[in-house]
């Protein structure tokens, strides 16, 4: 390796400046077949299949709710996921999902490095798809390199145009599928096709078409190299026992030609298996050389493993010169020690523990979720009102939420204080001293509740009040707690 | 070619990467002088061009007494007027209903009540809260609208009339009027008499009075000077805006000094008429909001 001279930046130097930008080195990934390529195809088919098809799956929720299995209904502030319906105040489920996603990412990373980057990340999946289209139209690596080096003929133009057209179609379809998660999919498809969709829908599609086309078609590995924070965080989170796509230099070095290796091997000399054929570099979608070790640019997709296995098979050497391995094992093999694999480490336990705790809490919340809730907020200003007859009145904003898909009637009671007069502004009807509140399907209703009581100046602490609603249909109770305050108990 | 098996001789960043440094070193960590990616640089230039375009099309540069207006003639004031008009159009369905419905019927319909209370609450915060307080709790001289003691009437219609025409508001001929004479200032009663009648007024609502006060004399003074408006038993008169003196709610305070002060000064609070400033639906919503705070009759 030629060692460049270390230069320091000197603003007063007369020497010509460095270029203002670094030109991108075009990468022409070569096609490859093998185990990891097959895994990537399957994951690509499954993830994209889910993404494009999911909005069209139906789920019956009765007459008062949408029948789309996965729907984020922004205007009505509801999110639906099969049997789950989330209200805006339950956005902590989203927090939970984000924690789970982060922890799952960390766990994957602790077990086998950048699994997310290599197989699951949308950037990787869509880039893979775009590269497949490119290969189909423009041919493989060598063909594309030759064409790009040659003159720009009509035929070249036609091929490029075809490729970009297909890219834009896929990108447009990607954006189109995205908006379907936010409205009834079949209806929206018809609206979009007849140019009757909302401006928001068209703008969203346009933006996502643009980003998909740019990111997956034009920028590709530059997103991973420059835009994505995860490679940086990943490098800080990993440890020596995490499996990584590794060039086993203990076996590969010294690199030499097949012929030279055969001669040396016959003579009993130490020989490396790497024949420096550069196949691992040729297939790499980000253009890195895996033999330099794990780098920022290496998304660990395993395609170099497939490429190298192919070569090793051809030269009749054992496969997996590049494999999921650790540097620890390389060092151990060099010292004549057996391999060790430690999937059970403090960090994997910790991540798994956090995942199960957060997941458990979410499931518990979901299972015990009350279909009707009552929230009580005491008037903050004034805290109490003195009436003309000297009695004290406290006012509360009470919100009753009916999360069920049919209308419900609730009987309403305020408990905790004898001889308290309870008035509700806007209550439906009262019978035999009981107050009844109707709340429509999947709706909330706010009421102003007034509690009036004699002024007892000797009272030293606020009195706890319990606002109880009982669902007249199934007898389910929900209780909200607040306090009755008097001049004596306000400080 | 670098060999993984041999330990590298120089581990410094420039040697490892082949990139020069800025010359900054912190604890042996050197800062590489990597060039920016081309797309980043282009985005940067595009932003500069955008900014120049912005200068031409939008208000941008402050001058001594003016500013550059921009080719589009865009103004934030015009924009907010458009936005407000759009908002009004959005609400027109409900506001039309509010305008067409009797106050009592608005309160009977959950949909209209909810809308009116929301609109009323917002309008209250903007127009009424400076005097009556954010929670309509009132202050000394500014009535608490949560209680059931009303000077000009506590029915929804009464509240709407007060909002429309104000109280003692000279520009509005329909304004609530009724002024208490300045008994002290104008020499109708002397200081001793004012003290005597103040004791009597306090006794009307069962408040403690000074020892040795002559309640009988106070009663006589009250009958002669106050009963015409406040009534024989101090129940007040909402037609004249004469407050009830026999209840537990006091606008200016319930100590003797406060009562004497009111008798001496007389007069009364002033509230503007809102009919020139608010539209009919907003005033109706305000009336419903205030009426449903809890003290409405």
pLDDT tens for B221-260 read 999 999 999 999 999 999 999 999 999 999 999 999 999 9
How is residue B80 written in tokens?
A: 């907010």
List the single range of A157-166, A305-314, A349-358, B13-22 with lowest mean pLDDT: B13-22
Q: Which of residues 255-294 of B touch A (CB under 8 A)?
A: 292-294
Query: Which long-range contacts link B261-265 to residues 24+ away (Cβ below 8 Å)?
Result: B262/B180, B263/B183, B263/B184, B263/B189, B263/B194, B263/B197, B263/B198, B264/B182, B264/B183, B264/B184, B264/B185, B264/B194, B265/B182, B265/B184, B265/B185
Question: How many domains in chain B?
Answer: 2
Q: What pTM was estimated for this model as a whole? A: 0.73
Residues B108, B228 within the same domain: no
Is B29 contained in some domain? no
Q: Is this prediction's ipTM beyond 0.85?
A: no
Answer yes or no: are the C-beta atoms of A273 and A251 closer than 8 Å. Answer: yes
Tens of pLDDT, residue by residue over A268-288, are 888 999 999 999 999 999 999
- Structural domain including B103 reads 93-175+271-291
Judge whether A60 is closer than 8 Å to chain B, CB to CB: no
Contact list in A for residue B4 (CB cut-off 8 A) is: 247, 249, 253, 291, 293
Is B19 contained in some domain? no
Residues B234, B279 within the same domain: no
Residues B146, B275 within the same domain: yes
Is B52 contained in some domain? no
What average pLDDT does the structure give for chain A? 91
Tens of pLDDT, residue by residue over A18-55, are 676 777 888 999 999 999 999 999 999 999 999 999 99
Question: Are B294 and A385 an interchain contact pair (Cβ–Cβ within 8 Å)?
Answer: yes
| Phi-psi sector, A416: left (phi>0), alpha (psi -120 to 50), beta | left
CATH code (residue B159): 1.10.760.10
Q: What is the 3-state secondary structure (H, E, C) of A297-330?
A: CCCCCCHHHHHHHHHHHHCCCCCCCEEEECHHHH
Residues B238, B104 within the same domain: no
Tens of pLDDT, residue by residue over B106-138, are 998 888 999 999 999 999 999 999 999 999 999
Residue whose C-alpha is closest to residue A32's, from A369, A283, A210: A283
Question: Are A18 and B20 an interchain contact pair (Cβ–Cβ within 8 Å)?
Answer: yes
Residue whose C-alpha is closest to residue B140's, from B131, B150, B128: B131
How is residue A235 written in tokens?
A: 């490098």
Residues B110, B223 within the same domain: no
Q: For residue B13, what is the nearest residue in chain A, using CA coordinates?
A: A6
How many contacts does A have with B, using Cβ atoms within 8 A? Answer: 126
Is B213 contained in some domain? yes
Question: Are A21 and B35 an interchain contact pair (Cβ–Cβ within 8 Å)?
Answer: yes
In this prediction, residue A353 carries a pLDDT of 97
- Integer Cα distance of B202 and B221 in angstroms: 14
Question: Are B292 and A8 an interchain contact pair (Cβ–Cβ within 8 Å)?
Answer: no
How is residue B175 written in tokens?
A: 């304004």
Question: Are A293 and B5 an interchain contact pair (Cβ–Cβ within 8 Å)?
Answer: no
Is B109 contained in some domain? yes
Residues B131, B197 within the same domain: no
- Integer Cα distance of B237 and A6 in angstroms: 96
Answer yes or no: are the C-beta atoms of B230 and B236 closer than 8 Å. Answer: yes
Residues B285, B144 within the same domain: yes
A389 Cα distance to chain centroid:
61
- Integer Cα distance of A339 and A325 in angstroms: 9
Residues B119, B168 within the same domain: yes
Tens of pLDDT, residue by residue over A120-160, are 999 999 999 999 999 999 999 999 999 999 999 999 999 99
Chain A: give the shortest CA distance to residue B264, in Å: 25
As a dihedral over the C-alpha atoms of residue A123, residue A128, residue A131, residue A135, rounded to 10 degrees, the angle is 180
Is B49 contained in some domain? no
- Statement: residue A335 has pLDDT above 80: yes
Residues B282, B168 within the same domain: yes
- Statement: residue A5 has pLDDT above 60: no
Nearest to A388 among B12, B14, B249 (CB): B249
B96 Cβ partners below 8 Å, 6+ apart?
Answer: B281
Q: How many CB atoms lie within 10 A of CB A10?
A: 11
Question: Are A9 and B135 an interchain contact pair (Cβ–Cβ within 8 Å)?
Answer: no
- Integer Cα distance of A474 and A470 in angstroms: 8
Residues B126, B249 within the same domain: no
Q: Which of residues 182-241 of A touch B (CB under 8 A)?
A: 219, 222, 226
A313 Cβ partners below 8 Å, 6+ apart?
Answer: A319
Contact list in B for residue A255 (CB cut-off 8 A) is: 1
Confidence of residue A2 (pLDDT cuts 50, 70, 90): very low
Q: How many CB atoms lie within 10 A of CB B14?
A: 19
In this prediction, residue A18 carries a pLDDT of 63
**Positions of chain B with pLDDT lower than 70, given as ranges:** 1-14
Q: What is the mean pLDDT of residues A209-223?
A: 95
Is B59 contained in some domain? no
Residues B162, B275 within the same domain: yes
Contact list in A for residue B39 (CB cut-off 8 A) is: 24, 219, 222
Is B50 contained in some domain? no
In this prediction, residue A54 carries a pLDDT of 96
Residues B100, B240 within the same domain: no
Judge whether A490 is closer than 8 Å to chain B, CB to CB: no
Q: What is the mean pLDDT of residues A447-466?
A: 87
Contact list in B for residue A273 (CB cut-off 8 A) is: none
* Residue A467 bridge partners (DSSP): A414, A480
Contact list in A for residue B5 (CB cut-off 8 A) is: 249-250, 253
Tokens 């399957």 found at:
A42
- Integer Cα distance of A18 and A16 in angstroms: 7
Question: Are A22 and B36 an interchain contact pair (Cβ–Cβ within 8 Å)?
Answer: yes
């Amino acid at each position: 390796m030629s060692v460049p001279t270390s230069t320091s930046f000197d603003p007063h130097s007369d020497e010509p400046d460095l270029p203002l930008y670094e030109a991108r080195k075009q990468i022409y990934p070569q096609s490859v077949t093998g185990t990891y390529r097959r895994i990537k195809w399957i994951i690509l088919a499954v993830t994209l299949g889910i993404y494009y098809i999911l909005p069209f799956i139906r789920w019956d929720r009765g007459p008062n709710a949408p029948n789309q299995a996965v729907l984020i209904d922004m205007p009505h502030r509801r999110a639906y996921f099969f049997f789950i319906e989330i209200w805006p105040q339950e956005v902590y489920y989203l927090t939970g999902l984000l924690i789970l996603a982060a922890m799952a990412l960390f766990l994957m990373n602790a077990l086998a490095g950048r699994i997310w980057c290599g197989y699951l990340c949308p950037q990787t999946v869509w880039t893979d798809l775009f590269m497949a289209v490119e290969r189909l139209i423009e041919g493989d690596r060598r063909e594309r390199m030759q064409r790009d080096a040659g003159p720009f003929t009509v035929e070249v133009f036609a091929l490029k145009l075809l490729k970009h057209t297909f890219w834009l179609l896929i990108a447009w379809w990607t954006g189109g599928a995205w908006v379907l998660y936010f409205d009834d999919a079949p209806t929206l498809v018809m609206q979009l096709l007849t140019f009757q969709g909302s401006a928001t829908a068209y703008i969203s599609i346009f933006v996502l078409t643009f980003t998909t086309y740019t990111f997956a078609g034009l920028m590709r590995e530059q997103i991973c190299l420059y835009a994505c924070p995860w490679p940086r965080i990943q490098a800080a989170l990993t440890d020596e026992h995490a499996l990584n796509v590794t060039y086993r230099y203990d076996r590969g070095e010294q690199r030499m030609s097949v012929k030279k290796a055969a001669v040396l091997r016959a003579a009993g000399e130490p020989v490396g298996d790497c024949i420096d054929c550069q196949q691992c570099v040729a297939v790499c979608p980000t253009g890195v050389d895996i033999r330099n070790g794990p780098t920022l640019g290496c998304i660990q997709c395993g395609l170099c493993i497939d490429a190298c296995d192919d070569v090793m098979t051809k030269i009749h050497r054992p496969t997996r010169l590049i494999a999921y391995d650790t540097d620890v094992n390389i060092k151990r093999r060099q010292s004549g020690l057996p391999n060790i694999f430690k999937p059970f480490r403090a960090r994997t336990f910790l991540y798994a523990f956090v995942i199960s705790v957060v997941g458990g809490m979410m499931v518990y919340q979901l299972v015990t979720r009350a279909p009707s809730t009552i929230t009580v907020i005491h008037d903050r200003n004034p805290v109490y009102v003195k009436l003309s007859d000297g009695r004290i009145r406290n006012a509360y904003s009470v919100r009753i939420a009916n999360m069920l898909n049919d209308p419900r009637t609730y009987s309403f009671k305020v408990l905790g204080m004898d001889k308290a007069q309870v008035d509700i502004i806007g209550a439906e009807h009262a019978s035999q001293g009981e107050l009844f509140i109707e709340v429509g399907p999947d709706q909330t209703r706010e009421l102003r509740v007034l509690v009036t009581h004699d002024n007892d100046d000797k009272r030293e602490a606020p009195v706890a009040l319990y606002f109880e609603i009982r669902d007249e249909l199934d007898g389910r109770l929900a209780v909200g707690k607040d306090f009755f305050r008097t001049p004596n108990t306000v400080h | 070619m670098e060999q993984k098996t041999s330990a590298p001789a120089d581990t410094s960043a420039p040697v490892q990467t082949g990139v020069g440094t800025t010359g900054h070193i912190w604890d042996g960590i050197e800062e590489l002088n990597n060039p920016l990616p081309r797309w980043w640089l282009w985005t940067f230039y595009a932003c500069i061009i955008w900014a120049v375009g912005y200068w031409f099309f939008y208000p941008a540069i402050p001058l001594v007494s003016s500013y550059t207006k921009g080719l589009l003639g865009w103004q934030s004031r015009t924009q907010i007027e458009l936005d407000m008009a759009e908002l009004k159009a959005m609400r027109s369905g409900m506001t039309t209903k509010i305008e067409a419905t009797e106050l009592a019927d608005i309160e009977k319909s959950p949909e209209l009540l909810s809308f009116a209370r929301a609109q009323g609450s917002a309008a209250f915060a903007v127009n009424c809260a400076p005097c009556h307080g954010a929670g309509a709790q009132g202050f000394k001289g500014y009535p608490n609208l949560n209680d059931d003691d009303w000077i000009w009437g506590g029915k929804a219609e009464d509240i709407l009339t007060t909002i429309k025409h104000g109280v003692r508001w000279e520009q509005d001929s329909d304004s609530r009027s009724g002024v208490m004479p300045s008994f002290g200032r104008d020499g109708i009663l002397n200081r001793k008499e004012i003290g005597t009648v103040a004791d009597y007024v306090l006794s009307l609502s069962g408040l403690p009075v000074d020892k040795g006060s002559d309640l009988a004399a106070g009663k006589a003074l009250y009958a002669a000077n106050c009963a015409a408006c406040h009534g024989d038993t101090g129940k007040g008169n909402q037609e004249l805006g004469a407050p009830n003196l026999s209840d537990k709610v006091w606008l200016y305070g319930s100590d003797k000094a406060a009562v004497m002060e009111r008798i001496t000064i007389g007069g009364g609070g002033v509230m503007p008429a809102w009919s020139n400033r608010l539209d009919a639906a907003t005033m109706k919503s305000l009336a419903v909001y205030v009426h449903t705070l809890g003290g409405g009759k």
